[in-house]
Structure 1
Amino acid sequence: MSDTKAQFRPDDHDAEHFIMTTVVGSYPKPKWLNRARELAADDEAAFDDGDLQEASDDAARLITREHERAGLDVVVDGEMRRNEMVEYFAHRIEGYEFNGPVKVWGHNYFDKPSVVDEVEYDEQWLVEEYEFTASIAERPVKVPITGPYTLANWSFNEAYQDDEALTYDLADLVNEEIEKLVDAGARYIQIDEPALATTPDDHAIVGQALERIVADVPDDVRIGLHVCYGDYSRIYPEILEFPVDEFDLELANGDYDQLDVFKDPAFTADLALGVTDAHVADVESVAQIERNIEKGLEVVLPEQLVVSPDCGVKLLPRDVAYGKLENMVTAARNVERKLDAGELDAVVQQASPADD
């Protein structure tokens, strides 16, 4: 795996060490954008698709700048144009249809789609979103995209023999979209596979799907994999064979009780470590986040470390989400200074690498 992290180091980054800061993806939407969506869906309202496009552009501009103001090295538009991580893509893939919302937990509903025919690539999914964000951003832009395993696992499969066959066909579509994103200039793409944490025995299917996804993707394009909280011991070290540059893992929410899982065998990829809890509506102190970042240095060397919130933060109050990001960036810069000054050493357990 080639080194793809250095290209995202800001030109004015003074520290010798570089712990890259970013977000997983989603961010709280401005309340007026939710109101704009309601108006656009109301046939009696004098509010059309063009008005919604303008509102979405304004929200993407606002949140991208908010990420930059917090100091992130790599930004996202907060997924302002997306309603949900499966539904958004299913609406753009031939072969899916919707039959109404399904209750998933509490008072939350998910418009779970059905695959009723062979899936086909119909329209571009994220290229216009990326091009707009890149045109207004002063920092590099990451593109999160829902992975094929989750797109299959979180849908009703009424057309394929099994979810494995569906996953591989969806992987080919994701590959097609990523090729278009790369042509548009994207150099950092994150595959989101939260379903892997809930069905870890299928890690081999995810690995095969990733091989299809990254086929012919240039070496300078950084590919990450985000996996939400689960029993990581059931997928490690097998995931080290996945063809990705970094693994984005949710560990702060579990108070790093699974950290030792990644120490033996040695973690050979980059680690995008969750250092703020996306499920808690309190802003962690800079000192606490520094301690969390230092947890990552027990697993990887500084040049392998990236930090972000545990997961998407769209359900948090916006001021809390911003506070977490701002403190996270300050903490990362403080840890870099400690490393530069020799006040802090990486304490990676030098276990043997995984067998090839």
Structure 2
Amino acid sequence: MSNRDQFRPEDHPNDHFLLTTVVGSYPKPKWLDRVKDRYEDDEADFGDDEWQEATDDAARLITREHERAGLDVVVDGEMRRNEMVEFFADRIDGYEFNGPVKVWGHNYFDKPSVVDDVEYDESWLVEEYEFTADVADRPVKVPITGPYTLASWSFNEAYEDDEALTYDLADLVNEEIEKLVDAGARYIQIDEPALATTPDDHAIVGEALERIAADIPDDVRIGLHVCYGDYSRIYPELLDYPVDELDLELANDDYEQLDVFKQHAFTKDLALGVVDAHVADVESVEQIESNIRKGLEVVPPEQLTVSPDCGVKLLPREVAYGKMENLVEAARNVEADLDAGDIDVSAAAPADD
């Protein structure tokens, strides 16, 4: 039995099942930004308890928004996180911060420096997961920034090279995932956007993932999210990674790289981006159905997950919700077409066990 089957709703309307989920980040309610300003104002009467209540409310709101859209697996939209590297570096001994660095447009993040051996102190995500799982009526996925990106997007002032730093960070990520599994998490997504931009290091990422996946039970689904790069330089090597699912950004370039994944049998599950996280227009249900069918050119339905390209936190919230709602409707429509025999999936042979 695939560990994917546990996420199929008992009352699912179709014989076929395309798992629907999100990558991770989601637009924060505008009021949360105003609350954060008060929390960071030393002169405001607004402390830790008030900030905790505000982030709890935001996490509850977005988790239920994902459920209202119909997603099979939800997250809290990363309401408690500021940025995918900064959030974790702030919780790892050995990091320090030197000030904001411009990323793109008017967006900045506080790029950290590694100034000493990295060490695990207290849990990063367990409380976040437990809160979301308690709020949610559907299964919850936990996105976590991978060790290669944590190393590559930081200044390394303590280790001989980024490879050594990556492996130490991988051991910490493994420790955190073990705690998440003990807390009940069964779907973990490791985010490695740095991989596709520095593809020559795919072997380093593979070794890091081996460390992360060590002793993780078979019923825990591990996904790897990769984006923004030339996939031909890391495929089929991606298939050797000890993960269940490869989550890929393909909608943004109109599936120009889809043929890359037809050169070798796709032996992992494919989480296909079917809406563009960088376009502030809601794709039609018909367009998303067409995008989903592209995934069926690579894998059969039992290996296909349907998601956005990437996190959607930079979109207007109503646009992000519209994309999720249409994504779910499109997936259910394609399932119905599969049930009716209206889609030929012979081009995507099932992966060998």
TM-score, normalised relative to structure 2: 0.98
Tell me if the contact between 2:8 and 2:72 (Cα under 8 Å) persists in the aligned partners: yes
Instruction: Single out whichever of 32-41 and 242-251 deviates more from structure 2.
Output: 32-41
* Alignment check: 8 A CA contact 2:24 2:310 kept: yes
Query: What does the per-residue CA deviation read over 1:43-78, in whole Å, with 9 as the maximum and x for residues that have no partner?
Result: 110110110000000000000000000000000000
Structure-to-structure mapping, 1:1-356, within 5 angstroms: 3-350=2-349
Per the TM alignment, residue 352 of structure 1 is displaced from its structure 2 partner at its CA by 10
> Following the alignment from structure 1 to structure 2, what is the Cα–Cα distance between the partners of residues 140 and 106?
35
**In 1, Cα distance between the equivalents of 2:18 and 2:351?**
24
Q: CA deviation at 1:102?
A: 1.2
Deviations 1:212-259 (A, max 9, x none): 001000000000000012100000000100000000000000100000
Shift of 1:348: 2.4
Q: 1:109: how far off?
A: 1.5
CA 1:37–1:352: 2 relative to 1, 3 Å: closer
SS in structure 2 opposite 1:111? Answer: strand
- Deviation, structure 1 residue 266: 0.6
Contact preservation (8 Å) 1:229, 1:251: no
Corresponding pairs, count: 353
**Residues 15 and 350 of structure 1: is their aligned pair in 2 closer, same or farther, counting only changes over 3 Å?**
closer
**Conservation of the 8 A alpha-carbon contact between 2:191 and 2:224:** yes
Shift of 1:350: 5.0
In structure 2, the CA distance between the partners of 1:45 and 1:232, relative to structure 1 (3 Å rule), is same
Can you list the C-alpha shifts for 1:13-71, whole angstroms capped at 9, x where unaligned? 02111000000000000011111111111011011011000000000000000000000
Cα deviations by residue, 1:88-109 (Å, 9 ceiling, x for unpaired): 0000000000011112222221
> How far apart are the structure 1 equivalents of 2:343 and 2:97?
53
- Note if contact 1:119-1:170 (Cα within 8 Å) is conserved in structure 2: yes
Q: CA deviation at 1:110?
A: 1.6
Distance (Å, rounded) in 2 between the aligned partners of 1:281 and 1:192: 23
1:49 and 1:208 map into 2 onto residues whose CA distance is: 39
Report the Cα distance in structure 1 between the residues aligned to 2:106 and 2:280, rounded to whole angstroms.
19
Letter of the 1:170 counterpart: L
Q: Shift of residue 349 of structure 1?
A: 4.8
Q: Which amino acid in 2 is paired with 1:96?
A: Y
In structure 1, distance between residues paired with 2:332 and 2:351: 30
Provide the TM-score with structure 1 as the length reference. 0.97
Aligned-CA RMSD value? 1.3
Alpha-carbon shift at residue 345 of structure 1 (Å) = 1.9
- AA at the equivalent of 1:289: I
What amino acid sits opposite 2:122 in the alignment?
E
Secondary structure of 1:159's aligned partner: coil
What is the distance in 1 between the residues matched to 2:350 and 2:220?
A: 29
In structure 2, what is the Cα distance between the partners aligned to 1:351 and 1:160?
Answer: 43
Alpha-carbon distance change, 207 to 131 in structure 1, aligned in 2, over 3 angstroms: same
Contact 2:143 2:189 in 1 (8 A): yes
CA–CA distance in structure 2, aligned partners of residues 337 and 36 of structure 1: 44
Q: Distance in 1 between matches of 2:286 and 2:13?
A: 21
Letter in structure 2 aligned against 1:50 = D
- Structure 1 residue identity aligned to 2:197: T
State the alpha-carbon separation in 1 of the partners of residues 143 and 351 from structure 2.
32
Q: Distance between the aligned counterparts of 2:318 and 2:44, measured in 1?
A: 31
Q: Which amino acid aligns with 1:301?
A: P
Shift of 1:347: 4.0
Asked whether the equivalents of residues 300 and 349 of structure 2 are also in contact (C-alpha less than 8 Å), the reply is: no
> Could you tell me how far apart the structure 2 residues matched to 1:8 and 1:216 are?
22
Mapped contact 1:264–1:351 kept (Cα < 8 A): no
